[in-house]
Structures are given as structure tokens and as C-alpha cells.
Structure 1
Amino acid sequence: MKPSAQHMNWLLNRAYKCILDLQQNGGNIEELEQSVHALENKISSHVDDVALHTKWIETVGGIANALTATVPGITSYKNGLAVSFPATSNSTAAVTLNINGLGAIPIKNLNGVAVSNLKASGVYTVRYRAGAFILQGESEVEIGKQIIKPSTTKQTILKWLHDGTGYVEGDSNLTASNILADKPILMDMPKSAEQEQIDALTQAVAELSLLVGGGA
């Protein structure tokens, strides 16, 4: 992965100042070589620092939920280490990644939940931090299937994207005729013909009571 634009601008500016200094102060070839050598060392140091670059893994091994990889230059897990890789199969449980035999590290979402829904041929980027590989680009992470069953309490729908297979459960008994009168549930449901008749009679009785009471 190439150095960032900011870093390249700094290097070019440093090179320009070195050349300008040589021109203005009559520097010699030896001084120029020393300046170039110093710049080469800085560039090499930048390239070798694995924490500053996202390493591409062309092929991951292992099994669906326990991935392995060989990546030149990585000798330990350090905060900031980032790698990208294509999943070779769908995962079915919490996923770990083991690079160069350094140990299996869990892959987690930003909220700390273990990632368990990698998709075959999907490309993922993770960054190491404090014992876990954190999945990057969380806004595009699917949380998989969610099944919601109506209940008497409010239920939280987890954020992030869904895989399209989730649903809210239905029940054939959830009909207007099975709902108690004067007990609203979330939304207005159409009344049955029987309930309409009961409501009409109730209203008529109430009106008759008012007339009788008023005439008394």
C-alpha cells in the first residue's frame, strides 16, 4: 500500500529543501548523497512499519470460523495492525484470525460483538486493538437474521444492516375478534361485525339512559 498523500508531501518538501540548501550554500556531492540516504532510510522505515499500512491477504486458510493467513513482515500483533482479506466461505459462528501462527484472535464489530456472518467472496478489513481484530467499515456490516415475536414489552431492533431473511412473527389468533374491547394494541384493528353490533347497542343504551334521566 502506497504511503499517504500527507507523508509523500512531507518527503517531497524535505527533498526540495535539501536541494535548495545545496544550491544556496554551495553544497557538494557528498552532502547531497547524505541527504538522499537519510530520505531513503525514512521511506524504508515508513514502508516497514506494518501499523501504518493495510496488508492485503490474497488467500486465507483454515476453516470458515477459524481463519489462518501468512503475511510477510508481521512478527507480532500490535495496536493498529490492519489486514484485508477475501472470505472463502460463509461463517457459521464467531470468527477468529490467526496470522503467521501468532495466535487466533477474535474478529469483532465496533460494539464488541463477535463477527459470525462473513460471506463467501466478501472482502473484509480488520484492525488489531487490545486483543481483538475490529471489523472496519461498520456501517456496512450485516448483523444477520433477526426474528421478532410480538410481546407485551418493547423490543430493540439492533442497528446495522440485515441480511433480508429476518421477519416479525405472525399468529393466526391475532385477529380483531380475539382482542378484548377497549384494550388498544399498537394500532387500530378493524372490528368484527359482532363487535360493531355490540358497540352500537352500547351507544344506544347510553343515549336512552340520558333521555330517561333527562325526562325524570
Structure 2
Amino acid sequence: MAEIFKFFNSAPGDERWHYASDFADYFANVLSSGLLHKDGTPNLQVKVNAGTMQTYIEAGEALIQGYQYQNTLPLFLTHGLPEPNLDRIDRIVLRLDKRNNARYIKLFVKEGASAANPVPPTLQRDQYVFELSLAQIRLTKNTSTLEPLKLVDERMKQDVCGIVYSLISVPTSVFQQQWDYWFNNKKQTFEDDLVAWQVQQKNEFETWQVEQEQEFLTWFESIKDILSGDVAANLAERIASLEQTVDTHLDDSVKHNNYGFAVGTNMMSVSLPNGPSILLEGFTLRFKKEHTNTGAVYLRVNGSAIIGVRKNNGAAIGAGEFKAGGVYTVCYDGRSFILQGEGGEYGNALVGDVRKGKTIGTQDGIKTGTLDLTNLIPDNIRQGVTIDGVTGALGVVGVGENQILPWEYSSMPRVDGSQLTSWKLSDYGTRIDKSGRYRVKWHMSKLGSPSGGVYLTVYSRLYKNNVEIPGTQNQITSDTTTNDVYYWMDMDLKAGDILRIGALTPSDSRPHIYAYIDGLFTDLTVTNIKQV
């Protein structure tokens, strides 16, 4: 057979011709036919164009017998209509055709035969044509659209399509030598370990055997006297002694683990088989409650005296503390039945006193707290004060005051008697520059003596953004002893709020009304501005 070598350039006087089939043969020898993939996911996926008789194939690449194929855009294929009475299965195939009149790789719809039980068409694979099946779809009889759920993806089936893989095998002789070397080393190690384990087990068994023999000899020595002489009499004496011990225990109800069913709500009755008729101190009883109690609880056992049930601190059982179906343990102390293991005493904390998300034990079981401390942050706590581990960041009480200048009292609206109809607001106001809590103070000067013997009253109140602030209205009435009147109020204000003072006065009153604002904390500021 001649020597064949390929893919050299031509030289003068020595031309080298290479055909497309030469390159295809080369790649076919090293790579299988199938779809090229990315990260194990093949491309050229087939999908149904909803509402039509078309399927379309997404972009992708393939390699068939060394020949390359690439589809750059979705490609639509049309299927023929099915017969009225029979279904059909079509395949969407990628076909390599090496015949001279073809020489291509293209996508086709390969129609199957219509039948009651149709099968997909057979792929053509011979010396000229080689087909890969991307998908198959069943066409339902007497329909004019394709159903997406009838589409079956066949790209990962290696017998009809598959993905490209290398055909070059890797020699395994070196791997086998390495495996043999590792296995032989491990085998010797395992054998050594097994021998050591067997020796250890043998030594431990022999030690255990000696100990068991010694225990048997000791036991046998203890009963040797019984088995000597009159054996029957000795055994009878031992049996009688054991019976006496058992009878004594049976009569000692204090040491028994007594259990029964408590009938009744507050007045409970428990019957115990072979139970005592007279209770002794230390008698213990476990019982299952029939009904939830509604008050103090009393207990009678086997018709004995009625005895109250109390807690360890002497307190009576409260209503609802014994639940229906609950199992409880009590011990008689000579006067009362004392409830065991009730979990200690409970305080007076309510769920609103316990932090949200935390739990507290109560007489009604575990409860979850509702106290919300989400607003407990440094900006809401005075500087230098720590509450629940949160240290405040607010400044200390400020000094100095900012005056809200008074209105022109000469144009103050006047009232007739006590009729309050119209208020005059101050010409100047104070604009809040920073949100926070402020202390607002205002005072009214005395009016002097009554005019013509008639007492006069002047009214004042504060406004925020030209809306009355509830709770700020005050008044001053004229008499010979009236002094200036002072008022103040702490309020939360936002940046941009404007405070003004308003007043009403009788016709011949000329009071002075002033208001001052003081930031409760040093980093709060205001600005006086003209309003009218």
C-alpha cells in the first residue's frame, strides 16, 4: 500500500493538490459526527412556531464526517398537512449530501408515513448521504397547526445525533501500572492492619474470659453454703426472705410510682388498684386531668380524706392551671398535696413588657413579647444616656432663645365681649432649620386697671404653618394686680415648619405678647423671617 501524507504546500516543479474530501477525512478520523456544543449544551435547538405548520431551528454548528456546518440565524421549515384520519411523525434532520449534484449540509423536514401507530422515518446513512436527527414531532390527524408538546428533542441521542467528541484513544498501560503499584501497596497495608486487629481482638477476648471465670467463681462461692447440707430447706428459707421483702415493698405505697386518672373539675378523685386508704407523708401520685380546673383544686385518693393541692410556696392552684388532658405529679407532705415541677414562680410581666420576638414563661405557657424597641436608636436618646445597651447621641440642653417677633398690636383684631371671631397673626415667624424637639415659650404682659370698671381679656395662641396648635390658647384679664403670664410647651418640629403667634384683644387693650423658641438640644437651629 502506498504511503499517504497530506497538507504540504506546493513548490516549483512539485505541485501538491489537496481536496476538500482530504480535509474532511482528516477531521472525521479525529472527531465524531454531531453537534458542536458550549459547556456541554448543544445548539441547533428545534422549536415550534406557534399557530402554524412550521418549526424553526436556532443558530448553531455541527460536524458531519469531517464536513463543517453553521447556521447563523433561526431557520424556518414548513411541514405538510397530516391526513384527515391518520397521524404522522416527521423528523427535522441535518443532511450531508456528498453527491456531485449536491455537495452540501442543509436542514430538511423528513416526513414519515401516516399510520394508526406511526413511527419516525428512518435516517439515511450511506456512502453519499448521512443524516443527523435534531428532533421529531407528531402531527395529529385533521389539524392545521403543530403542537409544541408533541415535539421530541433528539439532539442528545448518540445513535441519531449526539454531540461531537474525540475519537483519539488514550493508552492505558501506564494507568494500569500505576493502579497496580497503588493497589499492591494498599493490599499490604490492609493485610498488616487485619493481622493487628485480629491480635487485638484475641487479647481482649482472653482478658474478658478470665474476668468472667473469676466472676463465676465469686458467685459460686457465695451460694456454696446454700447448696450444701439440706439444700431444699436452705432454698425455702431464701424464698421466704424474698417474699417478705416483696410484701413489705408492696405495702409501702410511699415508694411506689402511682399513676391514675383524676375525675372531676376542682374536686378530683383518683382510684388506684392496691392503693392506700390512709395517706402517709411522702406519698407520690401522677395523674391525668379530666377537665381544666376553674378554681382551687382538691384531691381524694381511694376514698381517703379530701386534701388541697398547692404549689411549693403554699399558694393554691389558680384557675386554668390544670389543663384537660395534662399529666401532673403531686407529693403529700402530711398536710397538702404539693405540685411537683411546676417550673417555679412567675412574676407580673405581661407580653407588652417583653421585647418583641422574645419569649417568657407564664402560668398559661410560653408567650411571645410584643414590646417594639425598633425606635430605640442613638438619635432618639439624650447624649450620655444608655438604654438597653444603646448609647444616646442627641446633644445636651441648649442655651439662649430665638424670639418670634410680635405682631403689630396696633392693628390687632378686636373682639366684642367674649366673641372670638378673627385672630391676628404676628408679622414675623420662626422657620425651623433642623428637625427636632423644641421648647416654645410665650408670655403676655399685664393689661393694667379695668377700663370704665369693665374687665378686659386678651387671648393668644401659637400657630404652626398658619394652623392653630392645639393646647396653646391662653388668656389674660385686666385687674389691678395682674402680672405678666408665662407659658411653655415642648413640641416636635420638622425642618421648614414656621411658627407664629396670634392674638385677639378688646378695643382699648394694648398688651405686649411675645413668643420665644429654644432648641432643647444644642444642634437645633431656627431663623426669624418676615411673614407679611
TM-score, scaled to structure 2: 0.27
| Maintained 8 Å contact 1:18/1:35 | no
CA deviation after TM superposition for structure 1 residue 91, in Å: 1.7
Equivalent position amino acid for 2:278 in 1 = S
1:120 matched to 2:362? The reply is: no
2:295 corresponds to: 93
1:42 corresponds to: 245
In 2, the alpha carbon distance for the partners of 1:30 and 1:53 equals 32
1:138 matched to 2:345? The reply is: no
| Maintained 8 Å contact 2:263/2:289 | no
Computed over aligned residues only, the root mean square deviation of the Cα atoms, in angstroms, reads 4.4
2:153 corresponds to: none
* C-alpha spacing 1:201/1:190, structure 2 compared with 1 (3 Å): closer
| Maintained 8 Å contact 2:298/2:306 | yes
Greater fraction of residues in helix? 1
In 1, the alpha carbon distance for the partners of 2:287 and 2:340 equals 12
Deviations 1:59-117 (A, max 9, x none): 22222x22112223311111111111111122232211111232221222223222230
Equivalent position amino acid for 1:131 in 2 = R
Bigger relative contact order, structure 1 or 2 (CA pairs below 8 A, ≥6 apart)? 1
**Aligned-partner SS, 1:130:** coil
User: Which moved further from structure 2: 124-133 or 65-74?
Assistant: 65-74
| Maintained 8 Å contact 2:309/2:336 | yes
| Maintained 8 Å contact 1:147/1:166 | no
In 1, the alpha carbon distance for the partners of 2:242 and 2:296 equals 45
1:70 corresponds to: 271
2:263 corresponds to: 61
Alignment counterpart, residue 129 of structure 1, candidates 330, 333, 338: 333
1:26 matched to 2:268? The reply is: no
Aligned length: 174
1:198 corresponds to: 520
In 2, the alpha carbon distance for the partners of 1:22 and 1:78 equals 39
1:208 corresponds to: none
CA deviation after TM superposition for structure 1 residue 121, in Å: 0.9
| Larger of the two Rg values belongs to structure | 2
Counting aligned pairs with the same residue, the percent is 25
**Aligned-partner SS, 1:86:** strand
* C-alpha spacing 1:16/1:96, structure 2 compared with 1 (3 Å): farther
| Maintained 8 Å contact 1:145/1:164 | no
CA deviation after TM superposition for structure 1 residue 48, in Å: 2.1
TM-score, scaled to structure 1: 0.60
Alignment counterpart, residue 109 of structure 1, candidates 311, 315, 318: 311
Equivalent position amino acid for 1:28 in 2 = V
In 2, the alpha carbon distance for the partners of 1:159 and 1:89 equals 23
* C-alpha spacing 1:99/1:148, structure 2 compared with 1 (3 Å): same
Moved over 4 A (4+): 15-18, 141-146, 158-162, 165-170, 184-191
In 2, the alpha carbon distance for the partners of 1:166 and 1:101 equals 43
| Maintained 8 Å contact 2:254/2:283 | yes
**Aligned-partner SS, 1:91:** coil
2:45 corresponds to: none
* C-alpha spacing 1:129/1:52, structure 2 compared with 1 (3 Å): same
Residue ranges of structure 1 left out of the alignment (5+ in a row): 1-14, 151-157, 171-180, 204-216
| Maintained 8 Å contact 2:264/2:290 | no
